[in-house]
Structures are given as structure tokens and as C-alpha cells.
Copies of this chain bind each other. A is one copy, B any other.
Amino acid sequence: MEKQHQRINEHIAQLNQFLEKGVAADFLKLFLDLHPYEQGQFYTNLDSAQQQQVSTWLTVEQLAHMFNDINFSQVDVAALVKVLSPKRLAAVVDAMYSDNSGQMLTYLDPETLAQYEPWLSATDSQMLEQLAQYPEESAGALMGGDFIAVPADITVTDAMQAIKEAALHIELFQYIYVIDHAGDLLGVLSFRALILNEPDTKVHEVMNQHVITVEPTVDQEVVAHVMADYNFVALPVVESGHLVGVITIDDIVHVIDEEATQDYSGLAGTDVDAPQQNPFYAALKRLPWLIGLIFLGLGTSTIIDGYDDLIAKASVLAVFVSLITGTGGNAGTQSLAVAIRRLSLGERPKLLRAFITELLIGTTVGAIAGTTIFLVVWLWKGDFILGMAVGLAMAMAILIANIAGAFIPRIMNHFGIDPAVASGPFITTMSDLTSVIIYFTIAGMFITHFMN
């Protein structure tokens, strides 16, 4: 790895020199020697004038090759395509694998897309219409149209010939799909099966009829888990029996990574993949959540302020505020994380059942944690009643934080909001508020005791 990194870094330094001097031949010799992914990394880091220059040196096929390996979720796609004329971009789109070009086009707004549409081939226009039809981050938005489909009554030899013809423009061809004349999916044939069977066998005799498929509306994270579980490198997308596209493993690897990073960023209350080079930029990225939560936290302060008299009379109460809010927040974060993970996996347990489960978990955790702190406070402060108040408050704070952590993501999901936004810090701060109310309400009940 180290040696490879070094080679790439040396290449990049030289490429920058050639680019500055404007020597196309030297530049191209070195550039085309790089892997398309490395080309894309270099290209996307150039300013638009430089990109303009490089793009005129490259052929449509070379551009398409490079674009195939760009991870569009990590670059400014609008700026990237603006460098090329609509006609040239359309040619590049035509030459790209359709799952990759589809991905790229989803990052453009409708007006920009409309500019390119007249130049696109019929196939690509159709793909665009199809993409617009399916929800974002669904199987339909992820699938590509480049797959090999053959009729059921051809022979293994004919199927092999179909593969040879398709090899030029198909990205991954581990599987061949067998369809009837209406385009309905009948079965799947592995490349291995083709190799291992007699040349004149009919494909329907050797195909696997139990094909695992997904509908185009299924969420991409569910698709990712089906492919991971079954060890698939490709998964057909079927709409009312009709084979409409295929999702390949390389797209899924990105999905798993992105979805996990989204969930993780949500729990952290900051985009963990934002570039960190510039500390002031990084600070600006983190501030909105933090400031927002400070104002939410001021709610908690206001409530404590309302109990000012109580605290003035029994200052020992202040000692346990942060312990109770902290523990409530920790319990809420735990159940939030579990709930978001289960939603990601497509699990939707029945509401009443889920509520009873969380009630039992919260009660168990709350009872054990509450009893622990009751004993500690009683022994430490030699005050049975104070121990009772702190223990009871903690048990209830845990129970409520637990239920809130489990249900807020479900409620958000119900209203179509990404539950990962219900971040850890948000739950923690919300839980501070309820914990403080519970704590001082319970303490208030024992007020005569504390007013020694």
C-alpha cells in the first residue's frame, strides 16, 4: 500500500507540472496509466479551468471510464458536469455504465437535467424517466439497465455468445437472466453453470427458478442487507414480474458505507465525513447543532431556575442533577441507537409489542440503576429519604429516556423524516429536560424532609 501511495503521489506531482505547462502528450501518457478511480480523484480535485483543459484532452470513452469510478456522493456533481458541453456530457453519459450514469444524474436538479435531455440517447432518456419515477435511495434509483437477459429456449452456447457480445458494455456479468417473451423473469443462470454444462443444453434446464428479487420501491439499505446476507454480486429488480434492472455489488458497498456513516453522523450530531483540513470550516460544521442544543438546554436551565428556592434551602439537591441527567441521556442514547439500527434493517415490530418491550427494558434498567444509586446515596450521605428521591428520580428518568429514544425515531420515520437526524446529542438534551422535571418534582414532594 505504502509503495502504491508513493507512486500515485509522485504521479500527481508530475501531472500537475505537465498540466501547468500544457503538454498534453506527456500528461496523457501518465494520466491514462492511472486507475480510473485515481484519475477521478485527481480530476475532481482540479479547479474548473483545469478540468476544462483536461477534459478536452480526453476522449469521450476515457472520460466515461473515469466518471464510472467517481463516487458522486462525495463531489459537487453540478460543477463537474458544467465543465462539459451538453452534447459532450450526453455522449459521456451514453458511454458510462447505466447504473453509474443514473447515479450521477440523480445529483442534478431538474433544470440542469432539462439542458442535457435533448442530447441524450433514447435509452438514457428512458432511464432518466424511470429514475424520476422511483423514490430516492430506493432499489429503483440504484439499479442499472445493463444486464444480460436471454430467452428460455436458447442453448448454453448461444448464452455464451450473448455474454461475449455484452462484455463490452456490461460492468459485472456473474449472472445471466432468463426471461419469457413478455420480459418476465423466469430464472437466473450463473456464469459457472454455463461453463460446467453441455454446450447444447437449453438454458431453462439449467437455470435456477427460485430467484431472489426486490421491488424497485424497496429502500436501498434493505437491498444492501439482502445482498450481504445472500452473498450476491448482483440482484435483479422486478416490477410486477417484469425484470426492470439489476443492482450490482459495487453500488451496494457504497450504500452500506454511506448509510452507516449517516447513522453514525446522526448519533454524533455532526457530519463525520465532512473535510477536516480547515479547522474553521470544521468548526462551522459542528456549531449549528451545538448552538441549537444550547438553546434547548436553556429550557432545562429555566426549569432548574424555577426550583431556585428549593435549591437555596437544600443545596445537596444540586449535587445529583448532573448524575441524573447524564444517566438518563446515556440510557436514551442506547435505546435510540438500537431503534435506528432496527429501522435501518427494515424491522418494524408492532407498536404495542414494541412499547411493552421498551417498557420492560426501561423498568428493568431503571430499577437496577435506581436501586444502585439509592444505596450509594444512602450510604454516602446517611440520608435514606435523599437516597429514595435520587433513586426514584433516576429510575423514572431512565424509563422515560428509554421510551423516548426508542419511539422518536419511529415517529420521525412515520412522518418521512430520516430518523438518523434524531441524533444522540438531541436525545441527551431532551432527556436532560425531562430528567430535571422528574427530579425536582420528586424532590419537591420530600421538601419538608430536606428543609432541615
* Chain A positions near chain B (C-beta within 8 angstroms): 1, 4, 33-35, 37, 68-69, 71, 163-164, 167-168, 172-174, 191-192, 195-196, 210, 212-215, 218, 222, 224-231, 233, 249-250, 252-254, 256-257, 260-261, 263-265, 267-270, 272-273, 276, 279-280, 282-283, 286-287, 289-291, 293-294, 297-298, 300-301, 304-305, 308, 311-312, 315-323, 325-327, 329-331, 333-338, 341-342, 357-358, 360-361, 364-365, 368-369, 372-373, 376, 398, 424-425, 428-429, 432, 436
Contacting pair A268 B337 (CB below 8 A): yes
Contacting pair B231 A361 (CB below 8 A): no
Residues of B within 8 A of A376 (CB): 298
Decide yes or no: A429 and B230 within 8 Å by CB, A272-B337, A291-B369, A333-B269 being known contacts: no
Contacting pair A267 B269 (CB below 8 A): no
Contacting pair B323 A301 (CB below 8 A): yes
Contacting pair B222 A1 (CB below 8 A): yes
16 more A-B contacts (CB under 8 A) besides A290-B398, A301-B323?
A253-B256, A256-B257, A264-B337, A269-B333, A270-B338, A289-B330, A290-B327, A290-B330, A290-B369, A294-B369, A297-B327, A298-B323, A311-B311, A315-B315, A330-B429, A334-B425
Decide yes or no: A311 and B315 within 8 Å by CB, A1-B214, A267-B267 being known contacts: yes
Residues of B within 8 A of A164 (CB): 195
> Smallest CB–CB gap between A356 and chain B, Å?
8
> Smallest CB–CB gap between A227 and chain B, Å?
7
Q: Which of B293, B305, B331 contacts A290 (CB 8 A)?
A: B331
CB nearest neighbor in B for A365: B283
Please report the C-alpha to C-alpha distance between residue A368 and residue B288 in the assembled complex, in whole angstroms. 11
Contacting pair A428 B336 (CB below 8 A): no
Please report the C-alpha to C-alpha distance between residue A226 and residue B320 in the assembled complex, in whole angstroms. 49
Contacting pair B319 A308 (CB below 8 A): yes
Decide yes or no: A322 and B304 within 8 Å by CB, A4-B212, A37-B231 being known contacts: yes
**Residues of A contacting B: mostly:** helix
What is the oligomeric copy number?
Answer: 2
| A-B pairs with beta carbons under 8 Å apart, 13 shown | A33-B210, A37-B231, A233-B249, A257-B260, A273-B341, A276-B342, A283-B368, A287-B368, A290-B331, A301-B319, A318-B321, A330-B429, A334-B425
Residues of B within 8 A of A311 (CB): 311, 315, 318
> Smallest CB–CB gap between A271 and chain B, Å?
9
Contacting pair A337 B265 (CB below 8 A): yes
Contacting pair A1 B337 (CB below 8 A): no
Please report the C-alpha to C-alpha distance between residue A32 and residue B224 in the assembled complex, in whole angstroms. 25
Decide yes or no: A327 and B357 within 8 Å by CB, A172-B174, A260-B256 being known contacts: no
Q: Which of B33, B68, B322 contacts A321 (CB 8 A)?
A: B322
Contacting pair B322 A315 (CB below 8 A): no
CB nearest neighbor in B for A218: B1
Please report the C-alpha to C-alpha distance between residue A254 and residue B260 in the assembled complex, in whole angstroms. 12
Please report the C-alpha to C-alpha distance between residue A160 and residue B369 in the assembled complex, in whole angstroms. 66
User: A222, A286, A327: which has the most chain B beta carbons within 10 Å?
Assistant: A286
Decide yes or no: A253 and B264 within 8 Å by CB, A368-B291, A428-B329 being known contacts: no
Contacting pair A268 B323 (CB below 8 A): no
CB nearest neighbor in B for A368: B287
CB nearest neighbor in B for A358: B279
> Smallest CB–CB gap between A319 and chain B, Å?
5
Residues of B within 8 A of A267 (CB): 264, 267-268, 337, 424
Residues of B within 8 A of A257 (CB): 224-225, 228, 256, 260
